[in-house]
Amino acid sequence: MAIRVAVLLLLASVLCSYAAANTEEALDCCLTTSKKPIPQSIVKSHSIQTLNGGCGIPATLFITKAGRRLCAPPTSESKWVKKLIKKLGKKSPKSRRPKKGSKH
């Protein structure tokens, strides 16, 4: 009888551990970065990856218009990254305005 209880408790703890492991989200981190500059014309947006977020290295993540994720060095290590982020921030809001004569 004691063996059955021990087996049931062991089974229950294994199932609980398995369920807890499956509910955690996997982090999608940059593992390496490329020093090759990325053309502004293909970039849609960016985000900053920090060590505080659970990733192993700091990085700048650029999302292309095609949906690709490109990993670049942090702004503190690369002038071209800093310039590209600045240019992305200056994108004209004109592209979001409807054209004259077009219906909304």
Per the domain annotation, does 16 fall within a domain? no
Per the domain annotation, does 38 fall within a domain? yes
Q: For residues 75 and 81, is the Cβ–Cβ distance under 8 A?
A: yes
**Global pTM?**
0.62
The percentage of the chain sitting over the pLDDT mark of 90, rounded to a whole number, equals 55
* Alpha carbons 59 and 35: distance in angstroms, whole number: 11
Per the domain annotation, does 84 fall within a domain? yes
Q: Has residue 28 got a pLDDT over 70?
A: yes
Q: Has residue 16 got a pLDDT over 60?
A: no
- What's the mean pLDDT when you consider all of the chain? 79
Average pLDDT of the segment spanning 40-54: 93
pLDDT band at residue 53 under the 50/70/90 scheme = confident
Per the domain annotation, does 7 fall within a domain? no
Per the domain annotation, does 77 fall within a domain? yes
Per the domain annotation, does 61 fall within a domain? yes
Per the domain annotation, does 70 fall within a domain? yes
Q: For residues 59 and 85, is the Cβ–Cβ distance under 8 A?
A: no
**Domain count across the chain:** 1
**Domain range spanning residue 48?**
29-90
H/E stretch holding 81: helix 79-89
Average pLDDT of the segment spanning 73-98: 81
Per the domain annotation, does 40 fall within a domain? yes
Task: Provide the pLDDT for residue 90.
Answer: 83
Most confident of 49-53, 80-84, 89-93: 80-84
CATH code, domain with 37: 2.40.50.40
Beta-sheet strands, E only, within the chain: 43-49, 59-64, 69-72
